[in-house]
């Protein structure tokens, strides 16, 4: 993983909106393979819920499991895994 600090634009942070905590919608959960990840931050930039922070930790209270992060990851480091309810 790169040790360089990524330059980030000002971004919103996840917060409870009219739909509540969107994490309750999730059926598939994104799981990051840190060995494949190069810390480019694209997943965080594309996440519609701003649920991925600067340390690439996913806030599951707001991640709705849309899979956009996994789709956009250039290293294919994110796998969508069905959750056990
Ligand atoms: S887009 Fe993929 S490679 Fe880039 S930071 Fe996210 S998980 Fe890592
Ligand atoms: S699955 Fe969707 S909501 Fe969850 S972290 Fe990825 S892009 Fe964001």
Q: Which CATH architecture has domain 22-82?
A: 2-Layer Sandwich (3.30)
Task: Give the span between the Cα atoms of 26 and 17, in whole angstroms.
Answer: 16
Task: Give the span between the Cα atoms of 46 and 49, in whole angstroms.
Answer: 9
Query: Of the segments 9-23, 42-56, 68-82, which one has the largest average pLDDT value?
Result: 68-82
pLDDT of 24-74, one tens digit each? 889 999 999 999 999 999 999 999 988 999 889 999 999 999 999 999 999
Task: Give the span between the Cα atoms of 20 and 1, in whole angstroms.
Answer: 34
* Ligand 1, CB within 6 Å, residue ranges: 32, 37-43, 56, 73, 75, 77-78
Is the separation of the CB atoms in 22 and 65 below 8 Å?
Answer: no
Q: Is 50 in the pocket of ligand 2 (CB under 6 A)?
A: no
Task: Give the span between the Cα atoms of 45 and 16, in whole angstroms.
Answer: 19
The pTM of this model reads 0.84
């Amino acid at each position: 993983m790169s040790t360089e600090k990524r330059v980030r634009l000002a971004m919103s942070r996840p917060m409870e909106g009219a739909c509540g905590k969107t994490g309750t919608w999730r059926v598939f959960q994104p799981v990051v393979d840190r060995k494949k990840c190069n810390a480019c931050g694209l997943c965080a930039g594309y996440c519609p819920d701003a649920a991925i922070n600067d340390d690439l930790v996913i806030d599951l209270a707001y991640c709705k499991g849309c899979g956009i992060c996994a789709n956009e990851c250039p290293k294919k480091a994110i796998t969508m895994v069905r959750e056990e309810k």
